[in-house]
Chain A
Amino acid sequence: MRGLFLACLLIGAVAMSLGVGVRPVAPGVFLEALLGYDPRDPAHVTIAAIRLPRTVAGLAAGAALGIAGTVMQSLTRNPLADPGILGINAGAAFALILGVTLFGRSDQAAVALFAFPGAALAALAVFALGGGFRGDSGPVRLTLAGAALNALLLSLVTAVVLVRQESLDVLRFWVAGSLTDAAFRPVVEMTLVIGLAAVLAFAIAPLIEALSLGSDLARGLGTRPLRAQAGALTVVTLATGAAVAIAGPIAFLGLMAPHLARMSTGYALRPRLAVSAAYGALTLTLADTVGRLVLSSGEVRAGIVVAMIGGPVFIWVARRLRPGAMA
């Protein structure tokens, strides 16, 4: 029943995302474009060349961040874990901008490959620094390790952008992501990567569940903790790297989606992954649509809309933490 409700919400969000914008498109025109695409009709071109990539990018990146957030929160047993807060987005973004600097922006898909080592290194670093391998990463420690990593990488990104004399818009994109230029990003390739990450996440879900009982108990259950951790970090790397490559660094989505999901699914990881992915896709698509509507001229980037909701959510979760669970 709830699944149906969520599916309806998603369909509604997709319809709005396709229809709303500087040039509004009536729902009937979708069907026309779907059934008989006419390249001479400007409305059809708007849908196919601009709106559709943007909507797909929003759905894919949102789902990816929902999955990454859920995996990270389970793995670290930290309800505040999120690829943005922990600096993994920033790692991917810095590697991407480094790739653009070294190789130019001619081949988007090739440059996007840089996002993955960036995300992987950042994930390993924050996990190690936050005490993740010892299995005792408290929220404060992990969050502050992420804040430090974020600050470091953001300083580097700012420096590179300023050295390249890029416009303010470019810097803004790297600070809080956006779906505006989705049509020029490798959406199809990255969506495939996200699909791969989702499959892997589903496959290793039992391992992560065992690990979240604590590494001793997991070992007793026959799970090798290192293997589960490696698998989880691979999922996080693939999902976050791909999301950053198509939408830039979007923070807090990976924080919010799992909490929304938990309200309706309980604690089993597989359903939580699926519902989180759906909520992530829904939230990012809606945030992007809202961002297009609020200003009379121009638009607010989706990353900012998400962050303005996400900051208060962070505080809400932090306040509900039990004092004993802090360190």
Chain B
Amino acid sequence: MKGYVPLSLLIFLATSAALLTGQVDASPGVLWSGLVTGEGPGALILDTIRGPRVATALGAGAVLGMSGALFQMLFRNPLASPDILGFNAGAGLAIIAGIAFGIAMPTAVMAALGGVAMALVIGGLAFRGGGGTPVLTIILIGIGAGFTATAVSTFLMTILPGTTASEAQRWLTGSLAARDWSHAAQVLGIGAMLASLALGQARILSALELGDGLAAGLGQRPEAARWWLSATGVLLAATGVAVAGPVPFVALMAGPLGMRLTGALTSAGRMVSGAGAGALVLVLSDLLARVAVPGLQLPAGVATGLLGAPYLLWRLSREMERGDL
């Protein structure tokens, strides 16, 4: 448990910084009195302005991070995360389609449907009779599917009326602007359910990491277990996308970053630290995007893109040196 102290501390610090900083900076004292008395500017910030936004960022980052850690373990490849594999783009496309065709369904449901549909399409395309498909092929197919989904999303945006389109564009970049407590409750509630579901499968995931043969020897059914784990991971990612948009690279970075911070080695530990690291990354990115340009709020996705791209390049060069790629 000791390993989780630095990560928790970092999350606490990032959350505090995100609550204190903004167009109008608040002192810790003001915030504290707002928290205790429920009145004054501190309470306003906590209740309506920054509180829900930060809570949503924490929740969305956590589910994305956990999903990333899960897929990276499942595929035994640090590049296999729901954003690279195109699941996030699929969830995003479903939400845009919902807006464009006026489908009266909650965004969470649309995102989940889109993510699952995308995973099925990628799974179907990657499936080869007989031996398993190499992970790298799955990654490439996922990238291609993500490209396609993004292109169709952009197409749907051209047929939307002006104001809806600019909202949709902001959303597609990945943004946490104007979130209220219903968003936070949605991502934290559904996220908690899915997280316990994922942690319940941690033992199976550990067995799978030893290889299919060994897992079968331990009494697991590798194929079925893999489908269930994938479904859980896709739903986790979709839950995050439903409130924050398809923010790039949070899921990709969270797993390894969490492992580095906590030193966790077990499957459950890695999922939890991935969730923590994801929350940390998204809260910090959103803060960065808010304060980078005075008087202007950039979408959080711009910041995660700027942080995540160098990470991906570094990761590639490391994989290259090791000869894994």
B155, A308: Cβ atoms under 8 Å? yes
CA distance A159 to B290 in the complex (A): 12
Among the listed B137, B149, B159, B305, which residue makes an inter-chain contact with A295, where contact means beta carbons less than 8 Å apart?
B159
CA distance A80 to B310 in the complex (A): 22
| Total of A-B residue pairs, C-beta within 8 Å | 145
B154, A176: Cβ atoms under 8 Å? yes
CA distance A156 to B305 in the complex (A): 9
A152, B306: Cβ atoms under 8 Å? yes
Which residues on B sit within 8 Å (CB–CB) of A113?
none
User: A149 on the interface (CB 8 Å rule)?
Assistant: yes
Contacts A151-B248, A310-B151; A321 near B140 (Cβ below 8 A): yes
Contacts A159-B298, A304-B151; A319 near B306 (Cβ below 8 A): no
User: B302 on the interface (CB 8 Å rule)?
Assistant: yes
Complex interface bits, A307-318 against B, C-beta within 8 A gives 1, otherwise 0:
110111011001
Complex interface bits, B125-162 against A, C-beta within 8 A gives 1, otherwise 0:
11000000010110111011101111110110111001
CA distance A208 to B310 in the complex (A): 30
Contacts A129-B316, A141-B320, A321-B140; A307 near B154 (Cβ below 8 A): yes
B154, A175: Cβ atoms under 8 Å? yes
Which residues on A sit within 8 Å (CB–CB) of B115?
none
B140, A80: Cβ atoms under 8 Å? yes
CA distance A278 to B157 in the complex (A): 31
Among the listed B137, B147, B158, B303, which residue makes an inter-chain contact with A326, where contact means beta carbons less than 8 Å apart?
B137
A319, B141: Cβ atoms under 8 Å? yes
B151, A307: Cβ atoms under 8 Å? yes
CA distance A141 to B158 in the complex (A): 33
CA distance A323 to B139 in the complex (A): 12
A318, B154: Cβ atoms under 8 Å? no
CB-based nearest B residue for A142? B316
Which residues on A sit within 8 Å (CB–CB) of B248?
151
Among the listed A130, A141, A148, A315, which residue makes an inter-chain contact with B309, where contact means beta carbons less than 8 Å apart?
A148
User: B266 on the interface (CB 8 Å rule)?
Assistant: no
User: B313 on the interface (CB 8 Å rule)?
Assistant: yes
Which residues on A sit within 8 Å (CB–CB) of B68?
none
B147, A310: Cβ atoms under 8 Å? yes
A144, B312: Cβ atoms under 8 Å? yes
User: B249 on the interface (CB 8 Å rule)?
Assistant: yes
User: B293 on the interface (CB 8 Å rule)?
Assistant: yes
A145, B316: Cβ atoms under 8 Å? yes
CA distance A312 to B146 in the complex (A): 10
CB distance from A303 to the nearest CB of B (A): 8
CA distance A179 to B149 in the complex (A): 22
User: B169 on the interface (CB 8 Å rule)?
Assistant: yes
Complex interface bits, A127-149 against B, C-beta within 8 A gives 1, otherwise 0:
00111000000111101110111
B136, A151: Cβ atoms under 8 Å? no
CA distance A143 to B79 in the complex (A): 12
CB-based nearest B residue for A165? B296
Among the listed B249, B298, B313, which residue makes an inter-chain contact with A145, where contact means beta carbons less than 8 Å apart?
B313
Which residues on A sit within 8 Å (CB–CB) of B166?
168
CA distance A168 to B293 in the complex (A): 19
B137, A315: Cβ atoms under 8 Å? no
A148, B313: Cβ atoms under 8 Å? yes
Which residues on A sit within 8 Å (CB–CB) of B303?
155
CA distance A50 to B165 in the complex (A): 27
Which residues on B sit within 8 Å (CB–CB) of A321?
137, 140
CA distance A326 to B308 in the complex (A): 24
Contacts A151-B248, A151-B308; A158 near B313 (Cβ below 8 A): no
CB distance from B178 to the nearest CB of A (A): 16
CB distance from A158 to the nearest CB of B (A): 5
CB-based nearest A residue for B121? A315
Contacts A312-B148, A327-B325; A155 near B302 (Cβ below 8 A): yes
CB distance from B84 to the nearest CB of A (A): 7
A158, B173: Cβ atoms under 8 Å? yes
Contacts A144-B312, A152-B305; A318 near B144 (Cβ below 8 A): yes
CB-based nearest A residue for B289? A159
CB distance from B316 to the nearest CB of A (A): 6
CB distance from B154 to the nearest CB of A (A): 5
User: A33 on the interface (CB 8 Å rule)?
Assistant: no
CA distance A163 to B157 in the complex (A): 22
User: B274 on the interface (CB 8 Å rule)?
Assistant: no
**Those of A284-327 within 8 Å (CB) of chain B:** 295, 298, 300-301, 304, 307-308, 310-312, 314-315, 318-319, 321, 323, 326-327
Which residues on A sit within 8 Å (CB–CB) of B145?
311, 315
CB distance from A173 to the nearest CB of B (A): 11
Which residues on B sit within 8 Å (CB–CB) of A176?
151, 154
Which residues on A sit within 8 Å (CB–CB) of B310?
148, 152
User: B65 on the interface (CB 8 Å rule)?
Assistant: no
| A residues apposed to B, CB below 8 Å | 80, 85, 129-131, 138-141, 143-145, 147-149, 151-152, 154-156, 158-159, 162-163, 168, 171-172, 175-176, 251-252, 295, 298, 300-301, 304, 307-308, 310-312, 314-315, 318-319, 321, 323, 326-327
Q: List 15 A-B contacts (CB under 8 A).
A: A129-B317, A144-B316, A147-B312, A149-B309, A149-B313, A151-B309, A155-B309, A159-B293, A308-B148, A311-B145, A311-B149, A318-B143, A326-B136, A326-B140, A327-B324
Minimum-distance CB pairs A-B, first 3: A311-B148, A155-B305, A152-B309
Question: 14 more A-B contacts (CB under 8 A) besides A145-B316, A176-B151, A251-B147?
Answer: A130-B316, A151-B248, A155-B303, A159-B298, A159-B302, A295-B158, A295-B159, A304-B151, A307-B147, A307-B151, A310-B147, A318-B143, A323-B136, A327-B136
